[in-house]
Structure 1
Amino acid sequence: MARIGLLTMSDGRDFVERDVHDFATAAETAIAARLEVEGHEVVRGGGPLWTSEVATTEGRRLADARPDLTIFHYPVWAFPHFSMLAAEANRGPLLLLANVDPQFPGMVGMLAAGGALDQIGRAHARAWGDIRESHVLDRVLVQVRAAAAVGALRGATFGRIGGRPMGMYTAVANPDQWMRTFGVDVEEIDQWEIVRRADTVEASRAREGRMWLERNAAGVHYDGRQLTPELLERQVRSYYAMRELIDEWHLDFSGIKAQPELTNHFATMDVTEAFLNDPYDWDGPKQTHVCATEADMDGALTMQLLKNLARTPVLFADVRHYHADRGIWDLCNSGEHATWYAARSDDPLENLRRVHLYPEGFYFPAGGASIHHLAAPGDCTFARLTRLDGRYRMQVLRGALETYDQQTNEALMRQSTYEWPHAFARLRVEASEFLERYGSNHIHAVPGEHVAELRAACGLVGIDYQGMGEAV
C-alpha cells in the first residue's frame, strides 16, 4: 500500500472557479475512490487550488503527511503558478494527471504546469485520460509503485560487514553518493563481530537449526572434512550472529564480505545469506532481509529496490557461463540464492525438498555447506545498478528462468561449480550486446514484469535508465 497525496488545480479567476468547482471536486473524488479500491491511502487537499495562498498552504499540509507520491490533478484549465507553489512546498515525487476533454482543457493546464516545472528542473511524471480506463490506471499505478519503492529506500541503513572483497571495485560504493541520490546510510561493521557473536549462540539453537536442515533438505552431504555437523552448526551460529547485528544496528539490508578471511579461516556465509533472504528459517516464517554476498553494495541496493517492487525474495548471482548452443546463461554464485527460488512456494518444505547442502569446494578451505538447488522456471525482470564514469544507471533486462529434464539439468550444472546454486536464464538480449555493455559480474532478478516501474524509479532518483535488448 502507498500513501498518495492528491491536489486538484483550478482556475485563478473567482467567477470561473465557482463554475468549475463542483466538476473538479467530483473528478478528484473519482480518482481518490479508484486508488482506494486498489488498496492505497489517499490524502486529499481541502478543495481545488485556485489562489496562491491555498496552493502553498495545501502543498505544505500534504507534505506533512509524507506521501510516497503526490498527484497534481488537472480537470480544468489551471493557473500554472499554483502548481509551482505547491511543488515548492512539497519536495516529494510528483505525477501530473490531466483529463482529456474538449470542454474542460485540463490537458492544457497540465502541459503549462509541466513546462514550468521543466524550466526549474523539477522532475515529474505525467498521465492523461480517464482513470476508469485500464491503460490510464496502469500508467498511474506504475508511478505509485515506483514512488513507494524509492520512498522505502530513503532513511534506510545498509550494514556493510567487512570491506572490499578480492579487489572488486563494483562491490564498493561511495556513501556520500548513496545518501545524496538514494537517501541511504551505510553502517560499517567488522567481520569479527560475526565470529565473536557466533561463539555466544546457545548450543541448543545451533543444534536445532542443523537438525531442521537435516530433516527437511533433500540431502546434507557430510564428508567429514569440508562439511561436518560442527561446521554446519557454525554456519547456523553465524546466521544468528547476523540477526543480532541486524536488530542491534537497525539494519534494513546488508552485505557480508566473507572472502577471504571468513572463507579461509572460519566458515562460508552461504547458509547465513540464503536464509536471511528467505521468508522463513528453522524458527518459522519471517520477513526477508536482503543480504548480498561479497558485501556488494550496489548489488544489495538493487536487490532492496527490487524487493520493494516485487515483495518477493531477490535472486543474486554471478553471470557464470553462456551456453551458446542453447542461448542460455548459467547464473551461479556461492551462497546468496534464497532457497525460495527452488520452487517459489509459500511452503518452505516444498522448496527445501529440492535443496541439497554440499561440502564447499577448494575455493573455501574453511569449509561449510553450500546451498545447492536449481531455480524454478518463470518470467523474471533482471536488473543491476552500475556506474558509468561515476554516474549511476540502472541496467534492465527481460528474460525467463528455465529448467529441462533431469539429465540435462545435471549435465549443465556440472559444467561449472555443481555444489553452488544455479539459475538457467534466457535473457532477451543478444549475448554480444550484454557482454559489451553490462557493468558488473553480478546480476539480480525477481519474478514478474517490473520494467516500467524501474524506468519510473530511475526518473524519481535522477539516474539513467538503460534497457538492454527488449527492455530498451
Structure 2
Amino acid sequence: MARIGVVSISDGRDHVHARNAGFIQSKQDALVRSLVAAGHDVVPGPDLVSSNVLATSVAREVAAADVDVTVFYYAVWSFPHFTMLAADATRSPLVLVASTDPTEPGLVGMLAAGGALDQIGRTHTRLWGAPDEAELVEKIGAQARAAGAVASLRGSTFGRFGGRPMGMNTAVANTDQWMRQFGVDVEEIDQYELVRRAELADAGEAAKAREWIEAHAAGVHYDGKKLTPELLERQIRSYLAIRDIIAERGLDFSGIKGQPELTEHFATMDVTEAFLNDPYDWNGPKDVHVTATEADMDGALTMQLFHRISGTPVLFADVRHYHADRDIWDLCNSGQHATWFAARSDDPAENLAKVHFYPEVFFFPAGGASVQHIAAPGQMTLGRLTRESGEYRLQLMLGEFESYDDATNTELVNQSTPEWPHAFARLDVPGETFLSKFGANHIHAVPGDVRAELRAAAALLGVRLDEWTRG
C-alpha cells in the first residue's frame, strides 16, 4: 500500500471556477475512490486550487501527511502557475494526471503545467484517463509504490559483516556514493562479533529451532562430519546473534562476507541467511531482513529495493549455468535462497516440506548445512543494480521460473552442485546479450511483473535503465 496525495488544480477566474468546481470535485472523488479501492491510503487536498494562496497552502497540507507521491489532477483548464507554486511546496515525486473527459480541456491544463515544470527542471510523470480506469489507477499505484520504496532507502543503514569476499569487486560499493545517491549509511561490523555472539546465544533456543527444522524439512541429512546437530545449531546460533546485532545497531538490511574465514573455520552462513530473508522462523511470522551473501553491497541494495516494491522475499543467486539446449539458466548459489521460494507459501511447513538440509560441499571445510530446494515455478522480475564507469544502472528483465519432473530436475541439478538451491529460469533476453552485458555474477528476483515500479524507481534514483527483452 502506498500513500498518495491528490491535489486538483482549477482555473483562477472566480466565475469560471464557480462553474467548474462541482465537475472537478466529482472527478477527484471518483479518482480517490478508485485509488482507495486499489488498496492505497489517499490524502486528498482540503480544497480545490483556484488561487496562488491555495496552491501553496493545499500542497503544504498534503505534503505534511508524508505522502509517497503527489498527484496533481487536471479535470479542466488550469492556470499553470498554480502547479508551479504547488510543486514548490512539496518535495515528493509528482504525477500529473489529466481527465480525458472531452467536455473539459483537462489535457490542455496538464500539458501547460507539465511544460512549465519542464522549464524549471522539475521532473514529473504524466498520465491520463478516466478516474475509474483500471489501467490509470494501476499506473498511479506503480509510481507511488516506486516512490515509497525509494524514499524508504533514505536514512537507512546497511550492516556489512566483513569486507570484500574473495577479491569480488562487484560486491563492494563506494559508501560516499551510497549516501549521496541513495541516502544509505554503511555500518562496518567485523565477522568476529558474529562469532562471539553466536557462542553466547541461547542454546535452548537453538535446540528448539533445530528440532523444528528436523520436524518440517524434507530432510536433514546428517553425515557425522560436515553436518551434525551441533553444526546446525551453530548456524542457528549465528542467526540468533545477527538478529541481536540488527536490533542493537538499527540495521535495515545486511550482508555477510562468510568466505573464506567463516566457511573454513566456523560454519557457513547458509541457514542464517535463508531465515533472515524468510518471512518466518520457528517462532512464527516475522519481518524479512534482506541479507546478501558474500556481503554483496549492490546485491543487497537491489534486494532491498525489490523487497520494498514487492513486499516479498528476494532471491539471491549466482548465474551458475546456461543450458543452451533448453534456453534456461540455472540460478544457484551456496548462500541463500530463502526457504519461502520453495513453494512461495505463507505456510512455512509447506515451503520446508520441499527443502533439504545437506552437508556442505568441499569448498567449505567448516561444514554446516546448505539449504537446498528448487524454486517454485512462476513469472518473475529479475535484475540488479550494477555499475559502469562508476555510474549506476538497473539491468532489468522479465522471466519465468520453471520446474520439471523429478528425473529432469535431478539431471539438471547434478550437472552443477546438487546440494545447493536452484532456480531454473527462462529469461526474456537472448543468452548472448545477457552474458555479454550483465554486470555481475549475482542476480536477484521477485515474483510477478514489477517492471513498471522498477522503471519508475530507476528514474527517481537517477539510475540508468538497461531493460532487456527478446523483441
Name whichever of 182-191 and 443-452 sits farther off.
182-191
In the alignment, the residues of structure 1 paired with residue 388 and residue 101 of structure 2 have an alpha-carbon distance, to the nearest angstrom, of 44
After TM superposition, give the deviation of residue 150 of structure 1 in Å. 2.0
Tell whether the 8 Å contact from 2:101 to 2:130 is kept in structure 1 after alignment. Answer: no
In the alignment, the residues of structure 1 paired with residue 116 and residue 266 of structure 2 have an alpha-carbon distance, to the nearest angstrom, of 59
In the alignment, the residues of structure 1 paired with residue 61 and residue 389 of structure 2 have an alpha-carbon distance, to the nearest angstrom, of 40
In the alignment, the residues of structure 1 paired with residue 409 and residue 101 of structure 2 have an alpha-carbon distance, to the nearest angstrom, of 57
Aligned partner letter, 1:399: G
* Alignment correspondent of 1:68: 68
Q: Structure 1 runs of 4+ off > 4 angstroms? A: none
Tell whether the 8 Å contact from 2:28 to 2:131 is kept in structure 1 after alignment. Answer: no
In the alignment, the residues of structure 2 paired with residue 301 and residue 47 of structure 1 have an alpha-carbon distance, to the nearest angstrom, of 40
* Alignment correspondent of 2:40: 40
* Alignment correspondent of 1:53: 53
After TM superposition, give the deviation of residue 236 of structure 1 in Å. 0.6
Aligned partner letter, 1:208: K
Pairing 1:117–2:122 present: no
* Alignment correspondent of 1:299: 299
Summarize deviations over 1:195-249 as a string: whole Å, max 9, x none: 0100111221111112222222122122222112111111010000011011111
Q: Secondary structure of the equivalent of 1:363?
A: coil
Tell whether the 8 Å contact from 2:334 to 2:370 is kept in structure 1 after alignment. Answer: yes
RMSD of aligned alpha carbons: 1.4
* Alignment correspondent of 2:220: 220
Name whichever of 101-110 and 405-414 sits farther off.
101-110
After TM superposition, give the deviation of residue 325 of structure 1 in Å. 0.9
In the alignment, the residues of structure 2 paired with residue 176 and residue 74 of structure 1 have an alpha-carbon distance, to the nearest angstrom, of 40
Tell whether the 8 Å contact from 1:6 to 1:72 is kept in structure 2 after alignment. Answer: yes
After TM superposition, give the deviation of residue 433 of structure 1 in Å. 0.5
* Alignment correspondent of 2:104: 104
Q: Secondary structure of the equivalent of 1:424?
A: strand
* Alignment correspondent of 1:315: 315
Summarize deviations over 1:76-103 as a string: whole Å, max 9, x none: 1111111111111111111000112333
After TM superposition, give the deviation of residue 57 of structure 1 in Å. 1.8
Cα pair distance change 1:291/1:259, threshold 3 Å = same
Once the two structures are superposed, the pairs formed by residues 153-192 of structure 1 within 5 Å of their partners are: 153-192=153-192
Tell whether the 8 Å contact from 2:217 to 2:355 is kept in structure 1 after alignment. Answer: yes
Tell whether the 8 Å contact from 1:123 to 1:459 is kept in structure 2 after alignment. Answer: no
* Alignment correspondent of 2:91: 91
Q: Provide structure 1 residue ranges, at least 5 long, that are not aligned to the other structure.
A: none
In the alignment, the residues of structure 2 paired with residue 75 and residue 178 of structure 1 have an alpha-carbon distance, to the nearest angstrom, of 40
Aligned partner letter, 2:297: M
Aligned partner letter, 1:423: A
Aligned residues between the structures:
471
Tell whether the 8 Å contact from 1:25 to 1:47 is kept in structure 2 after alignment. Answer: no
- Identity across aligned pairs (percent)? 62
Q: Secondary structure of the equivalent of 2:254?
A: strand
Name whichever of 107-116 and 231-240 sits farther off.
107-116
In the alignment, the residues of structure 1 paired with residue 212 and residue 68 of structure 2 have an alpha-carbon distance, to the nearest angstrom, of 41
Summarize deviations over 1:120-157 as a string: whole Å, max 9, x none: 22221111111212222222222122222222222222
* Alignment correspondent of 1:364: 364
In the alignment, the residues of structure 2 paired with residue 188 and residue 432 of structure 1 have an alpha-carbon distance, to the nearest angstrom, of 38
Pairing 1:350–2:346 present: no
Scaled by the length of structure 1, what TM-score is found? 0.97
* Alignment correspondent of 1:383: 383
Q: Secondary structure of the equivalent of 1:26?
A: helix
In the alignment, the residues of structure 1 paired with residue 339 and residue 418 of structure 2 have an alpha-carbon distance, to the nearest angstrom, of 16
Tell whether the 8 Å contact from 1:72 to 1:94 is kept in structure 2 after alignment. Answer: yes
Q: Secondary structure of the equivalent of 1:61?
A: helix
Scaled by the length of structure 2, what TM-score is found? 0.97
Tell whether the 8 Å contact from 2:2 to 2:141 is kept in structure 1 after alignment. Answer: no
